Structures are given as structure tokens and as C-alpha cells.
């Protein structure tokens, strides 16, 4: 478990600058009028730690911080301590990398992950120093790397997020970033509840299930679209016999052609034409077999095409009529990954269903839109396949017509040569041999086709059996990890509920019972309605509780750092606000008392004048004032102030 302490906040540009006083371990308070720079101070900290601050972006349409956007050569610098080791972080405005200085050595880390150019990011570096493992999560087809910015959502009580939402608004603006599973994972990581072993095994079980389902689909698709029959040994023996028989017949034919005497020089031409005729007839036979197979494949693809159209229509109806449906694989429960004993052809609820009418995961409406998009892409691919089959049939038909025409032409040539040439040889016997050779070669083509189908089916069966075995092993491994995971986390949740309930009861909320539900969201006094101002202590005590547990438990990964930006929201009055803020000291004292030893921590609070308890006056380190024109950003033209900071 690591600790994060901010020692100094610096902004520097060609036009403006700011240098904070040295911040302390413990509680630090910055007070100021509205618009004087309190929130800017918090922005600098978040930006310097790799966060996205919309007012600092030139691409934002609204709320641009013009003094910073229009400044040049400007950057934010944070002097920090991680486990009492000093580092300096420098990030230029608009840049997507951060320079880290430690012991005169400087490294640069990208904020955006790229497998080729930046596989190791600033977030990876910072989490590593704090003792928090880089955590990955698979959500259906999406793959999520947790960044420090994600965890910062429970380290920063900001004023832009509605208090009822608890978690700070996410940086990424998509449904995955603020999904329940992401929020739960943030809580679990910071509270030390996330078992890397458990989640790796969960991902492995999901991947094994997906691989098994794909193998099953491939096998079923192959058996539905190919006629697989016959015994491999018998077919192989017959193939060997046919190949030998063809060789014998070709030798006999060649011998007969050699001993044939001719009355003129047209005998060689006769043999050449006969050879071409045999080749053309064999090609025409093979092409006709291909056309038959293509027409069969085309028919099956057309059925698949029609089924997919019906499936798309069904998904469109689901999106239109339902916000959320639980559709899942019938073999296992999608949540606990355990097998369900269900009769084949029946749903868990007992209703009869068709195997083609369900999906393998739990989706919401947005995810159904993604599924619909994929299905629509699939139907395009199938439509292309249908057109390809039609084109291949058309080409083969034309090719057969050309071949038949060539056969007629060579047959006419053969007749003319026979009429003008006299042979002592047996031409009837040669024709018989040619007919037998053609028939045997046709049979050989079919034998090879049957053997390939049997071999492909066997490979698919073997692959499916291996994937099924791997899934069973992954499922058993996950079950063991889940039992250990639940057991280890129960005590942490119990302590959280104990501290949270005690703090909230003393707050302006005056709750009777308070605990977190299975999604780690507060459930208070059986859900009885409270005024909007009660949302402030509800959220604030949540953050205080996590800090208290971080001071108490070695297992908690929270870096014992908390940034609170202007908590006077939702119409809360000053007396109630002060009552709630004083509980910060209570939460800290509870954590230190339970652990029995002092630990480094830091709380940075920005608030307005007269909106903090008198007991907190001793923690004030910086004051901004609109009346005194003392704003956070100071013009660099003020040489006296520049000298002072130097």
C-alpha cells in the first residue's frame, strides 16, 4: 500500500504563472471567492496526475479557460511524494505525455496506451509506485485497462458531479466508462478487494466459454452444410485401388497406342486428340460436381441469410421495446458461471425455445445496438457470399459450355482423322479404356471430396472436445477463486458499513441505518426520501469512510489522498456543511485508532470564505480573493512577484 502527497503546485507560461505554498501532510485548505481560482487549483492537481480537464482543451466548444488556452509554452508541475520518495511531474498544456524527474533522472511517459509505441503508460508507472497492479477487465467484446484517472473518481470529491452520483463523472464519455461493473471494480481496487487471481480466472472462464461456443458453432455449421458419410478406412482403401487401376489402364492404353501401325502420319495426331478429349471430359465432369456442390451451399446460405434477417428484426424490436433484457447461454449462469440443469429445448424459466433465439451475454440497449451493427455487417458478408456463389456457378456454367464445345470440335476432328487414316491397331479397345479411365477419375474426385469432409469434421470435433475440457477446467478454477474472493471481501465490506453508518449518523443526514448494497451504493434508512441537501453528507461520508479504512487496513490500496473541491452544493447551509466537514477529523481518528499507528495521508480542501468550521482555520495554506485582486493566475509582467517566487 502506497501513499501520495502533493508538496507543491506550479503553473508556468509565457503570460501567467502560479506557485503554491508548500503543502503539508494531513489537512490542507485553500479558501477563496467564486472565480478566484479554487477549482483551478484542483484542476492543476488532476491535470498534473494525468487527468483530462475539458476547460484546458482547445477542442472544447464551451467553458474554455481562455487565460490558459491562449497562454504559450505553458505547463503544470507537481512536486509530490510517493512513499516519502520525491518526484516532480511536468505536463505541458495540451500534451499527452508527462515528464517525471527523480534524483536528476528524467523519464517521459505517454498518457495514451499504444501496443507498439507506448505499451507502458504514465498511469502504469504511477500505479506501480503506489503498489496497485495494472488491472484489466473484459466486458463482452470490450477490453478495459484501468488507469489512475479511473481510480481518481473516488479520490476527488469534485463540484461538477451531482452529489447523489457518489462517483466523480468519468473522463471517457461512453456507457462502459460509467457502467456498474466499472464503478464496482474501482471500489474493489481501492479497497484492496480486487483479487487479480480471481479476475484473471474470470476472464479465462469467459474466454474458454467463448472459444467453446465458437468451436461448437463451427462444428454444427459444417455438419449442417456438408454431407459426411462413409468409413475412412474403406474410402482410403477404395481410393488406393482406384488410383492403381487408373495407372494400369493408362499403361494398357499407351501400349495399344504404341503398337498401332499407321498408313500415314496422322496416327500421332489421333493420339493427341484422344488425350485432349479425355482431359476435357474429365474437366467437364469435375465442373459439374462443383456446380452441384455450389448450388447446395448456395441454398443453405440462403436459409442462413433468411434466419439472420429474422434475427435482426427481432433485435430491432428488443431495442425499441426494452431497456434491458437478460438473454444468456443455456449451459451456464452468466453471473456465477455454474452449470444449470435445464432440459434441452427449454429455458431456465421452463418455456420452450429455439437454440437460435438466444444470446450468450447480458446486454443493455446500447450494447444491443452494437450487436445489431455486427449482425448487419454479418448479413452483408452473407449477401456477398450468396453473390459469390452465384458468380462462381455462372463462371463454371460458362466454362462447361466452352468445354462441351471443345469436346464437340475435337470429336469432329477425331472422326475426320479416322476416315482418312487406316490402323492395324484396335481403336475400339482404346475407346473402352478411355471410358473406364474417365469413370474412375470421376470416382476418385468424389472419394477425395468425401475423405476431406471426414477429416475436417474430425478436426472440428477434436477442437470442440478440447475447448469443452478447457472450459470445464477454467470453470472449476473460477469457482474456487470465487469462494476465496467472497470470503476475503466480506470482512472489508463489514468494516466499511460500520464506519459509514457511524459517520452518517453524526452528519447532518442524521441517519439511523446505513450500509452499501451489492453494487457498493449507499442504502440509507430503507430508502426514505430526504432533501437534496442530504446528498452532500451521503457522498462526503462515503469518501471519508474510504480514507478511514485506508488508514486502518494494510490491505486497502487507496493512496490515503483526498481532494475535495467546493463541497457547498445542493443548497446545503453553512452550519450543516461545517457539521459534515468536522467529521473528516473523526474519520481520520477512527482509522488511526483502529490501526494503532500513524500513517501519512493528505486531504486538500478548497472552499469559500466562511464555509468551513472555525476549527479548520489552522489548516488554511492559501487564500484567493476577488476583492484584493488576488487570483490564482498572476501576470508574469509583475517582476516583484516573480522575484518572490524565485
In the prediction, which pLDDT does 341 show?
65
Q: What is the pLDDT of residues 444-479, one digit of tens each?
A: 888 888 888 888 888 888 999 999 999 999 999 988
The SS3 call for residue 363 is strand
In the prediction, which pLDDT does 20 show?
97
Burial class (CB in 10 A: 0-12, 13-18, 19+), 518: exposed
Strand partners, 602: 26, 561
Q: What is the pLDDT of residues 535-591, one digit of tens each?
A: 999 999 999 999 999 999 998 999 999 999 988 876 789 999 999 999 999 999 999
- Can you count the helices (H) and strands (E) in the chain? 13, 18
Pick the last residue of a domain from 389, 424, 459: 424
Nearest to 240 by CA among 453, 444, 436: 444
Which range (111-115, 352-356, 461-465) has the least confidence? 352-356
In the prediction, which pLDDT does 326 show?
41
Render the burial of 181-190: b for 16+ CB within 10 Å, e for the rest. Answer: ebbbbbbbbb
Pick the last residue of a domain from 384, 402, 424: 424
Distance CA 476, CA 591 (A): 38
Q: Do the bridges between strand 561-565 and strand 602-607 make them parallel or antiparallel, or are there none, so unpaired?
A: parallel
Q: What is the pLDDT of residues 42-81, one digit of tens each?
A: 999 999 999 999 999 887 666 789 999 999 999 999 999 9
pTM exceeding the 0.75 threshold for the entire prediction: no
In the prediction, which pLDDT does 305 show?
76
List CB contacts of 75: < 8 A, sequence separation 6 or more.
11, 12, 13, 90, 91, 92, 93, 95
In the prediction, which pLDDT does 47 show?
97
Does any domain span residue 92? Answer: yes
SS3 letters across 74-143: CEEEEEEEECCEEEEEEEECCCCEEEEEECCEEEEEECCCECCCECCEHHHHHHHHCCCCCCEEEECCEE
Does any domain span residue 526? Answer: yes
Number of structural domains found in the chain: 2
161 and 308 in a single domain? The answer is no
Pick the last residue of a domain from 424, 445, 472: 424
In the prediction, which pLDDT does 393 show?
83
Average pLDDT, the chain: 83
139 and 267 in a single domain? The answer is no
In the prediction, which pLDDT does 365 show?
47
Does any domain span residue 527? Answer: yes
In the prediction, which pLDDT does 362 show?
42
Does any domain span residue 146? Answer: yes
60 and 166 in a single domain? The answer is yes
Full residue range of the structural domain in which residue 343 is found: 261-424
Distance CA 88, CA 102 (A): 7
* Mean pLDDT calculated for residue range 150-163: 92
CATH number of the CATH domain containing 587: 3.40.50.300
144 and 267 in a single domain? The answer is no
Burial class (CB in 10 A: 0-12, 13-18, 19+), 633: middle
Q: Would you state the cell numbers that stand for residue 196, as one nine-digit string?
A: 487479480
387 and 518 in a single domain? The answer is no
Strand partners, 339: 332
In the prediction, which pLDDT does 1 show?
67
Q: Would you state the cell numbers that stand for residue 465, as one nine-digit string?
A: 472436445
In the prediction, which pLDDT does 3 show?
95
Q: What is the pLDDT of residues 267-290, one digit of tens each?
A: 667 777 777 878 888 888 888 888
Q: What is the pLDDT of residues 371-394, one digit of tens each?
A: 656 666 677 777 777 788 788 888
The most confident of 8-17, 271-280, 429-438, by mean pLDDT: 8-17
Amino acid at each position: 500500500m502506497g501513499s501520495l502527497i502533493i508538496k507543491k503546485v506550479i503553473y508556468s507560461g509565457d503570460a501567467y504563472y502560479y506557485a503554491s505554498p508548500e503543502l503539508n501532510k494531513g489537512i490542507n485548505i485553500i479558501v477563496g471567492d467564486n472565480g478566484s481560482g479554487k477549482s483551478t487549483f484542483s484542476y492543476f492537481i488532476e491535470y498534473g496526475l494525468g487527468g483530462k480537464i475539458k476547460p484546458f482543451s482547445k477542442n472544447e466548444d464551451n467553458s474554455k479557460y481562455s487565460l490558459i488556452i491562449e497562454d504559450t509554452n505553458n505547463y503544470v508541475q507537481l512536486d509530490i511524494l510517493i512513499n516519502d520518495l520525491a518526484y516532480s511531474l511536468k505536463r505541458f498544456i495540451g500534451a499527452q505525455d508527462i515528464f517525471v524527474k527523480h534524483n536528476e533522472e528524467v523519464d517521459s511517459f505517454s498518457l495514451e496506451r499504444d501496443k507498439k509505441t507506448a505499451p507502458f503508460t504514465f498511469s502504469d508507472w504511477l500505479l506501480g509506485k503506489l503498489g496497485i497492479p495494472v488491472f484489466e477487465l473484459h466486458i463482452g467484446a470490450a477490453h478495459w485497462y484501468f488507469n489512475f484517472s479511473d481510480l481518481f473518481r473516488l479520490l476527488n470529491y469534485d463540484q461538477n458531479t451531482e452529489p447523489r452520483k457518489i462517483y466523480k463523472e468519468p473522463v471517457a464519455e461512453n456507457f462502459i466508462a460509467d457502467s456498474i461493473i466499472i464503478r464496482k471494480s474501482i471500489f474493489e481496487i481501492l479497497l484492496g478487494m480486487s483479487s487479480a487471481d480471481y479476475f484473471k480466472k474470470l476472464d479465462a472462464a469467459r474466454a474458454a466459454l467463448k472459444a467453446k461456443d465458437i468451436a461448437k458453432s463451427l462444428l454444427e455449421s459444417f455438419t449442417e452444410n456438408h454431407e459426411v458419410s462413409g468409413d475412412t478406412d474403406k474410402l482410403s482403401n477404395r481410393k488406393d485401388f482406384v488410383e492403381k487401376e487408373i495407372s494400369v489402364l493408362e499403361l494398357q492404353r499407351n501400349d495399344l497406342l504404341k503398337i498401332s501401325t499407321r498408313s500415314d502420319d496422322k496416327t500421332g495426331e489421333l493420339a493427341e486428340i484422344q488425350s485432349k478429349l479425355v482431359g476435357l471430359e474429365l474437366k467437364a465432369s469435375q465442373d459439374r460436381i462443383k456446380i452441384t456442390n455450389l448450388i447446395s451451399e448456395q441454398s443453405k446460405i440462403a436459409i442462413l441469410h433468411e434466419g439472420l434477417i429474422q434475427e435482426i428484426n427481432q433485435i430491432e424490436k428488443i431495442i425499441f421495446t426494452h431497456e434491458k433484457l437478460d438473454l444468456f447461454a443455456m449451459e451456464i449462469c452468466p453471473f456465477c458461471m455454474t452449470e444449470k440443469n435445464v432440459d434441452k429445448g427449454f429455458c431456465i424459466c421452463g418455456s420452450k425455445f429455439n437454440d437460435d433465439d438466444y444470446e450468450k451475454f447480458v446486454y443493455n440497449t446500447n450494447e444491443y445496438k452494437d450487436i445489431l451493427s455486427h449482425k448487419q455487417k454479418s448479413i452483408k458478408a452473407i449477401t456477398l457470399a450468396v453473390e459469390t456463389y452465384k458468380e462462381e456457378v455462372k463462371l463454371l456454367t460458362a466454362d462447361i459450355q466452352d468445354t462441351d464445345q471443345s469436346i464437340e470440335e475435337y470429336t469432329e476432328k477425331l472422326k475426320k482423322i479416322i476416315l482418312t487414316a487406316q490402323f492395324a491397331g484396335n481403336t475400339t479397345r482404346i475407346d473402352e479404356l478411355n471410358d473406364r479411365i474417365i469413370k474412375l477419375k470421376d470416382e476418385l474426385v468424389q472419394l477425395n471430396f468425401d475423405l476431406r469432409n471426414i477429416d475436417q469434421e474430425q478436426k472440428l470435433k477434436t477442437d470442440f472436445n478440447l475447448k469443452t475440457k478447457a472450459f470445464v477446467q477454467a470453470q472449476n478454477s473460477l469457482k474456487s477463486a470465487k469462494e476465496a474472493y467472497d470470503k476475503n471481501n466480506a470482512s472489508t465490506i463489514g468494516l466499511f458499513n460500520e464506519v459509514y453508518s457511524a459517520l452518517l449518523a453524526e452528519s447532518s443526514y442524521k441517519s439511523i441505518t446505513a450500509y452499501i448494497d451489492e453494487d457498493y451504493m449507499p442504502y440509507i434508512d430503507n430508502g426514505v426520501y430526504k432533501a437534496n441537501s442530504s446528498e452532500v453528507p451521503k457522498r462526503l461520508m462515503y469518501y471519508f469512510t474510504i480514507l478511514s479504512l485506508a488508514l486502518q487496513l494494510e490491505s486497502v490500496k487507496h493512496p490515503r489522498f483526498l481532494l475535495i473541491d467546493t463541497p457547498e452544493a445542493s443548497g446545503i447551509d453553512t452550519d450543516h456543511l461545517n457539521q459534515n466537514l468536522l467529521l473528516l477529523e473523526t474519520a481520520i481518528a477512527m482509522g488511526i485508532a483502529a490501526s494503532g499507528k500513524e500513517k501519512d495521508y493528505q486531504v486538500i480542501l478548497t472552499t469559500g470564505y466562511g464555509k468551513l468550521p472555525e476549527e479548520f482555520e489552522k489548516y488554511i495554506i492559501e487564500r484567493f480573493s476577488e476583492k484584493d485582486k488576488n487570483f490564482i493566475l498572476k501576470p508574469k509582467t509583475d517582476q516583484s512577484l516573480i522575484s518572490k517566487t524565485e
